[in-house]
């Protein structure tokens, strides 16, 4: 991106902090081209601080014609309005807000996205940026050649038509939407093929035909290569005319783009190639040494190079287009007792959407009726379909595999989970990586230096050493071809786009190239316990029957005792008993004994459930309890815990053994005997141990578990999953201190947590990763990276992808730069012909870096062992 003008008129730099604090808010609801689907304005309304206030403002603004969407955000006191600029204005919107009784403090800013599909390289973006610099009122802008978009923020004195005019003044058309860049946007293959059937491609092939004919006359039909005309005293043979025609056919677009480059003061490849081709023709006429073949070769080969570059860029763009295509265009909605098919944009919150087997779910919502397995892989990356029943949440873009579903819509089309993912992936290009910033700085010096070198090579040897002018002019022209660092500049963003879109399709949302780069370099990972390593839900893990009771007997009594308890442990026992269809006895005289347990009459008999200490107070001898036998044979669980195969020492053996595994122990019994032992624990996620081992194998130096849980439980979990270290009984601020300490010991630390409770630690870490963020606004907005499902296998995948992305970026940068340097140094010695400079230095390297970046899409999450059971 070009640096801001010296007068400080515009701030065009987008660092991480700025994006997070301001730019993200400004573009949050902008997903369309302002020239076709409305501008978006944001107003500061600090007095709008409650839902009631927001309702009044929304109702007032809705009365205006041309208003499309209204988003009052009471937590920030801001109002975002999407509207048609030809039907209403910012002043009218502000007046409606004030008529609702609220003061507007800022009404002078709006942000819009413009689709510029032909802006597909760094030099194209440079022309557009220079053109936007001249538009008064533009506060900031961002060009995205990898997606063909320009996002601009401008004040009320500037209209969207002025922005469009500036972009078109740079030589690029603004279309209705990014999808319109080709006539075959629905098919990735057809999109790429359309490049070779475009008008430029046709002109290129015609130009190639004339070059071939010229070569035929030049070298084979020499007797027919006769004088055809004279120009400024120079003879033009048939071959020369054919070469000039080739230049005229292929050079139209080159000279046109070169004109716009000169007009916008951008020393890019189009301007350099225009100078090179013109220079070859002028040198032919001035020195009498025919360089028409060189001029024609430049025009023809550069056109091929541009087609190849567009082809490779389409490959990168299609990876994002696949995300956009996940959501269907239409939905079947129940209205007035009938099913009608409507565009998804016409579906509103509260509508009932019908989804049949095999269809995509069009909107975020909640299942009202029906049961089915839903393939959530497009959103969460889960490989196994998830069963959905009434009350369950579903996401737009997921696929209904089996049954019939009726879904109540819970979010607008532009605000569903899939839309937010697509928007964030698009916005992720704003956060430049350190390497990308280096490339941009370096490229601003590279081109002028090489151009200067070209002038010296073309002029000094003939003037000083008496060398051949034609020979060294060709050398100078060749260096001009090598002066544009297109492949070098695009090497990082195309890798970032490939990595981020690939991650999104596998259920990992990375909110910027800087986070992708940082994640690949971290040496330590801190992990929250509850909800991350464990499921965050208590469940029964062990049932040990005693005194000739069966497991069912123990669970039946426990269910009755805990049925009226509000304690999470009691809820876990009741839920487990219900799952295995254990009935409940008649319960009377229930009483909770605070801090100890519960008591009640079950079928008329007094029963107790609670801590071991509670039963000690009731007078039970916990050191000698008879184990349950089955026909004289001790049950398996009893045998494992009973030293003499007929009794158990609960106090010194069974209870401590279970507690050492991080489990909470509940005893169940009557006034006469202890009926059994139930152990409850927060289960470790399947695959947690495997994921941590994979992280170690990938090179993570230290993995630390941070938890507010007690020392005993933390130690047990840590031993089971294989972390290097654990820290227990931590308050939120102590987790922050732990992150800082790890950061001092290692070169970067990532923190993974639930995205809400661990927010301070997530913010402090080099990279903050939210766990299970699908459908969770807070996690999506606050984390640097979000794992959309509760699948820890995505963590080693994320680390591997980020690490490989860093390697690919380095490979692309140094290979493209090295290739340019080697070619440039070889030119003065005659080792590099002009065709090699075009095909290798420009087209070849562009294809090379793009193809290398596309390799990132081959990385997929490893399958985890879902049957893995923690000891």
Q: Which residues pair with 534 in a beta bridge?
A: 684
Q: What is the DSSP string of 447-463?
A: HHHHHHHHHHHHHHIII
Of the candidates 178, 177, 117, which has an alpha carbon nearest to the alpha carbon of residue 145?
A: 117
Half-sphere exposure of 172 (CA within 13 A, CB side): 33
Contact 771, 787 (CB under 8 A): yes
CA distance 283 to 315: 39
CB-CB contact of 121 with 313 (8 Å): yes
Residue 445 belongs to what H/E stretch? helix 434-460
Distance CA 735, CA 52 (A): 38
Q: How far apart are CA 800 and CA 752, in angstroms?
A: 16
Q: What spatial distance separates the first Cα and last Cα of the chain, rounded to whole Å?
A: 55
List alpha helices for 170-226, DSSP H. Answer: 188-195, 199-215
Q: Give the up-direction half-sphere exposure of residue 18: CA atoms within 13 A in the CB hemisphere.
A: 11
Which class for 852: exposed (0-12), middle (13-18), buried (19 or more C-beta within 10 A)?
A: buried
Q: Which of 314, 528, 758, 784 is catalytic?
A: 528
- Which DSSP helix (H) or strand (E) runs through 767? strand 767-771
Residue among 332, 353, 344 nearest 416 (CA): 344
d(CA 730, CA 125): 49
DSSP calls for 225-290? --EEEEETTEEEEHHHHHHHHHHHHHHHHHHHHHHHHHHTT---HHHHHHHHHHHHHHHHHHH---
* Active site annotation includes 528: yes
The alpha-helical segments, DSSP class H, found in 290-433 are 292-324, 377-380, 417-427
- What CA–CA distance (Å, rounded) separates 727 from 737? 11
The H or E element containing residue 602 is strand 597-602
Q: At what angle do helices 794-826 and 434-460 cross, to 10 degrees?
A: 10
Q: Is the dihedral of CA 64, 69, 70, 76 positive or negative?
A: negative
- 250-283: buried (b, 16+ CB within 10 Å) or exposed (e) per residue? bbbbbbebbebbbebebbbbbbbbbbbbbbbbeb
- CA 470 centroid distance within chain: 52
Q: Kindly compute the dihedral angle of the four CA atoms of residues 739, 741, 744, 750, in this order, to the nearest 10 degrees.
A: -20
* Environment class of 128 (CB within 10 Å of its CB; exposed 0-12, middle 13-18, buried 19+): buried
**Alpha carbons 794 and 508: distance in angstroms, whole number:** 7
Query: Reduced to 3 states, what is the DSSP secondary structure of residue 670?
Result: strand
For residues 626 and 839, give the distance between their C-alpha atoms in angstroms, rounded to a whole number.
86
Contact predicate 855/497, CB 8 Å: no
- What is the three-class DSSP state of 574? helix
Distance CA 438, CA 515 (A): 16
Q: Catalogue the active-site residues.
A: 528
């Amino acid at each position: 991106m070009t640096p801001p003008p010296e007068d400080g008129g515009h701030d065009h730099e987008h660092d991480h902090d700025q994006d997070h604090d301001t730019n993200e808010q400004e573009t949050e609801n902008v997903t369309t081209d302002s020239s076709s689907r409305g501008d978006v304005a944001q107003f500061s309304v600090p007095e709008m601080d409650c839902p009631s206030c927001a309702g009044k403002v929304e109702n007032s603004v809705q009365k205006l014609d041309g208003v499309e969407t209204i988003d009052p955000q009471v937590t920030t006191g801001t109002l975002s309005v999407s509207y048609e600029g030809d039907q209403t204005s910012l002043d009218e919107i502000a007046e409606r807000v004030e008529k609702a009784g609220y003061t507007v403090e800022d009404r002078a800013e709006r942000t819009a996205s413009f689709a510029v599909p032909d802006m597909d390289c760094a030099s194209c973006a440079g022309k557009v940026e220079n053109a936007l610099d001249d538009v008064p009122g533009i506060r900031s802008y961002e060009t995205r050649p990898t997606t063909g978009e320009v996002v601009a923020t401008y004040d009320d004195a500037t209209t969207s038509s002025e922005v469009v005019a500036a972009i078109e003044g740079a030589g690029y058309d603004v279309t209705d939407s990014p999808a319109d860049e080709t006539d075959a946007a629905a098919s990735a293959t057809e999109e790429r093929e359309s490049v070779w059937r475009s008008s430029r491609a046709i002109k290129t092939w015609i130009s190639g035909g004339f070059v071939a004919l010229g070569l035929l006359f030049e070298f084979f039909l020499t007797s027919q290569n006769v004088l055809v005309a004279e120009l400024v005293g120079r003879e033009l043979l048939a071959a020369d005319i054919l070469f000039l025609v080739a230049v005229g056919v292929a050079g139209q677009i080159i000279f046109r783009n070169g004109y716009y480059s000169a007009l916008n003061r951008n020393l890019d490849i189009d301007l350099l190639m225009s100078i090179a081709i013109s220079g070859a023709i002028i040198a032919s006429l001035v020195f009498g040494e025919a360089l028409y073949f060189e001029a024609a070769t430049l025009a023809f080969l550069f056109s091929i190079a541009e087609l190849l570059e567009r082809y490779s860029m389409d490959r990168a763009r299609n990876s994002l287009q696949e995300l956009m295509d996940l959501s269907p265009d239409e939905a079947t909605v129940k209205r007035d007792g009938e099913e009608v098919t409507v565009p998804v944009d016409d579906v509103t919150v509260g509508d009932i959407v019908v989804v049949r087997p095999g269809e995509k779910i069009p909107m975020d919502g909640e299942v009202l009726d029906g049961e089915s397995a839903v393939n959530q892989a497009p959103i969460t990356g889960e490989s196994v379909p998830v069963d959905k029943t009434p009350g369950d949440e579903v996401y737009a873009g997921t696929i209904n595999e089996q049954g019939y579903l009726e879904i109540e819509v819970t979010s607008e089309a532009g605000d569903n989970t899939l839309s937010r993912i697509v928007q964030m992936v698009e916005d992720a290009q704003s956060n430049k990586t350190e390497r990308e910033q280096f490339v941009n700085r370096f490229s601003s010096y590279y081109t002028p230096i090489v151009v200067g070198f070209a002038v010296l090579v073309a002029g000094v040897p003939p003037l000083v050493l008496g060398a051949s002018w034609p020979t060294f002019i060709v050398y100078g022209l060749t260096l001009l071809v090598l002066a544009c660092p297109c492949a070098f500049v695009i090497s990082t963003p195309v890798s970032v786009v490939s990595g981020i879109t690939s991650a999104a399709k596998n259920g990992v949302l990375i909110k910027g190239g800087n986070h992708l780069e940082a994640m690949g370099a971290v040496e330590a990972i801190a992990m929250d316990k509850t909800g991350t390593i464990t499921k965050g839900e208590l469940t029964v893990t062990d049932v040990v029957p005693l005194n000739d009771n069966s497991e069912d007997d123990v669970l039946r009594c426990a269910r009755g005792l805990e049925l009226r308890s509000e304690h999470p442990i009691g809820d876990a026992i009741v839920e487990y008993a219900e799952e295995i269809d254990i009935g409940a006895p008649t319960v009377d005289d229930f009483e909770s004994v605070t801090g100890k347990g519960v008591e009640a009459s079950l079928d008329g008999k007094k029963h107790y459930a609670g801590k071991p200490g509670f039963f000690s107070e009731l007078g039970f001898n916990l050191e000698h309890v008879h184990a349950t036998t089955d026909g004289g044979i001790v049950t398996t669980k009893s045998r494992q815990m009973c030293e003499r195969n007929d009794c158990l020492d609960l106090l010194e053996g069974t209870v401590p053994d279970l507690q050492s595994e991080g489990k909470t122990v509940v005893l169940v019994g009557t006034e006469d005997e202890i009926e059994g032992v139930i152990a409850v624990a927060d289960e470790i996620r399947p695959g947690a141990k495997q994921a941590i081992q994979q992280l170690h194998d990938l090179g993570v130096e230290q993995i630390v578990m941070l938890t507010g849980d007690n020392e005993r439980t933390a130690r047990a979990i840590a031993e089971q999953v294989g972390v290097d270290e654990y820290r227990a009984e931590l308050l939120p601020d102590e987790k922050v201190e732990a992150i800082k300490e790890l950061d001092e010991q290692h070169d970067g630390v990532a923190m993974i947590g639930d995205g809400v409770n661990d927010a301070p630690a997530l913010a402090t870490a080099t990279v903050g990763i939210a766990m299970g963020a699908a459908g969770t606004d807070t996690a999506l907005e606050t984390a640097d990276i979000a794992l959309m499902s509760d699948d820890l296998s995505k963590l080693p995948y994320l680390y591997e992808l980020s690490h490989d992305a860093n390697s690919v970026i380095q490979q692309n940068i140094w290979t493209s730069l090295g290739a340019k340097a080697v070619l440039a140094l070889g030119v003065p010695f005659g080792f590099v012909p002009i065709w090699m400079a075009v095909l290798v230095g420009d087209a070849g390297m562009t294809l090379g870096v793009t193809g290398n970046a596309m390799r990132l899409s081959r990385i997929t999450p490893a399958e985890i062992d879902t049957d893995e059971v923690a000891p």
